[in-house]
């Protein structure tokens, strides 16, 4: 993973969820979708994944239509199949069914061989008070950093 090109990040995921575990998954795409992704025209913001019939599908992931794609373009919000090993799919299903967790994409990237990959996370939703606690913690950390910078400048 040293030579990967990140195409899209889901920053909202880190704000709304506690990330438990991550997986790398391939994704079944058409040719025009791959070209559009290479141009960076992908949005992971409201997307999620679910296990259906022993397969994993990602929903609400928006891939903009490729301009030169004409008749080969597909629906930008269609469900797309994720490519995982059976063992990983069973583990994800266990997380969803038994623990009530959610599968969300964290980022989309091109690996060193030029394949489009999705980093999935098994996540637990944060409550409003958890989000406030994180914001307060981040704010305190920024104030500490600012104070340290100010002290170093005064010496």
Any domain includes 152: no
Do residues 60 and 47 make contact, with C-beta atoms less than 8 angstroms apart? yes
Return phi, psi of residue 86, to 5°. -55, -40
- Looking from the CA of 108 toward its CB, the CA atoms found within 13 Å total 23
Count CB neighbours of 62 within 10 A: 15
36 found inside a domain = yes
Any domain includes 139? no
% of residues, the chain, pLDDT over 90? 11
Given a contact cutoff of 8 angstroms between Cβ atoms, the answer to whether 120 and 48 are in contact is: no
Number of domains in the chain: 1
The parent domain of residue 19 ranges over: 5-126
Q: Which helix (H) or strand (E) holds 19?
A: strand 17-27
CA distances from 118 to 25, 51, 84 (A): 5, 16, 11
Structure tokens at 18: 């506690």
Residue 43 domain-assigned (yes or no) = yes
> How many residues can be counted in the chain?
155
Going by the DSSP 8-state scheme, the letter that residue 140 receives in this structure is H
- CATH number of the domain residue 42 falls in: 2.40.280.10
Question: Structure tokens of 21?
Answer: 């575990």
Say if 90 falls within a structural domain.
yes
Mean predicted lDDT score pLDDT of the chain? 84
pLDDT tens-digit map of 52-68: 888 999 998 888 887 77
In a domain, 49, yes or no: yes
Give the per-residue pLDDT at 72. 67
Residue 147: inside a domain, yes or no?
A: no
Give the tens place of pLDDT for each residue, 98-151: 777 888 999 989 888 888 889 999 888 877 777 788 888 888 999 998 888 888
Question: Any idea which residue has 């920024």 for tokens?
Answer: 142
Output the pLDDT for position 118.
Answer: 92
138 within domain boundaries: no
């Amino acid at each position: 993973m040293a030579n990967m090109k990140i195409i899209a990040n889901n920053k909202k995921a880190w704000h709304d969820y506690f990330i438990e575990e991550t997986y790398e998954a391939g994704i079944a795409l058409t040719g025009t979708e791959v070209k559009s992704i290479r141009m960076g025209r992908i949005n992971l913001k409201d997307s999620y994944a679910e296990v259906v019939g022993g397969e994993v599908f990602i929903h609400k992931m928006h891939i903009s239509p490729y301009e030169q794609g004409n008749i080969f373009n597909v629906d930008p919000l269609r469900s797309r199949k994720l490519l995982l090993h059976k063992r990983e799919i069973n583990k994800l299903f266990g997380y969803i069914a038994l623990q009530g967790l959610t599968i969300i994409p964290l980022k989309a990237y091109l690996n060193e061989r030029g394949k489009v990959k999705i980093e999935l996370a098994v996540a637990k939703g944060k409550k409003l008070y958890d989000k406030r606690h994180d914001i307060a913690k981040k704010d305190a950390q920024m104030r500490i950093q600012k104070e340290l910078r100010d002290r170093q400048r005064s010496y």
